[in-house]
C-alpha cells in the first residue's frame, strides 16, 4: 500500500517526524542492524510504502510453498484463513519473536 499527501504540508511534516522517530530507534541498535529509513515519491510528493511481514501475494509467489502459522502466532486461525484467498505465508514471511531473560547473576540475555 502506498500513502501520499500529494504535497500537503501536514503529511510532509508527518514524514519528517516519522524519520526523527526512526533516528531515535536507530540509536538503540548496532550499526547496519536496522533497515534504513526509506520514503518514496508519488507524483513528485513524499509517499510511504507499507506492507506486512506475514503475507506475500500469491501472484508474486506463484511457486512458493505455504507454511502454516503456528498456534502461538495465530491461536484463532484468523491469519491462516486470510492466507487462503489471495496470499501465501512463506519462509520469507516468517516473523521471529524474541524475549530477553535475566540469568542468576542479573545478566540480560
Report yes or no: 58 and 85 within 8 Å, Cβ to Cβ: no
| Whether the predicted pLDDT of 106 surpasses 80 | yes
| Whether the predicted pLDDT of 16 surpasses 90 | yes
Domain count, the chain: 2
| Whether the predicted pLDDT of 13 surpasses 90 | yes
- Distance between CA atoms of 78 and 75, rounded to whole angstroms? 8
Residues 30-80: pLDDT tens digits? 888 888 888 888 888 999 988 778 888 888 887 888 899 889 889 999 999
Report yes or no: 90 and 52 within 8 Å, Cβ to Cβ: no
Q: Are residues 61 and 80 located together in one domain of the fold?
A: yes
At 12, is the pLDDT very low, low, confident or very high (cuts 50, 70, 90)?
A: very high
At 4, is the pLDDT very low, low, confident or very high (cuts 50, 70, 90)?
A: very high
Q: How many CB atoms lie within 10 A of CB 83?
A: 22
Q: Are residues 9 and 31 located together in one domain of the fold?
A: yes
Q: How many CB atoms lie within 10 A of CB 4?
A: 19
Q: Structural domain of residue 86, as residue ranges? A: 53-109
Amino acid at each position: 500500500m502506498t500513502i501520499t499527501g500529494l504535497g500537503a504540508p501536514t503529511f510532509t511534516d508527518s514524514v519528517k517526524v516519522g524519520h526523527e522517530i526512526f533516528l531515535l530507534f536507530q540509536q538503540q541498535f548496532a550499526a547496519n542492524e536496522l533497515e534504513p529509513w526509506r520514503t518514496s515519491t508519488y507524483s513528485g510528493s513524499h509517499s510511504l510504502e507499507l506492507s506486512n511481514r506475514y503475507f506475500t501475494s500469491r501472484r508474486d509467489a506463484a511457486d512458493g510453498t505455504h507454511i502454516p502459522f503456528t498456534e502461538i502466532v495465530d491461536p484463532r486461525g484468523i491469519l491462516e484463513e486470510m492466507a487462503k484467498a489471495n496470499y501465501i505465508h512463506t519462509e520469507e514471511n516468517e516473523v521471529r519473536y524474541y524475549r530477553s531473560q535475566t540469568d542468576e547473576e542479573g545478566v540480560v540475555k
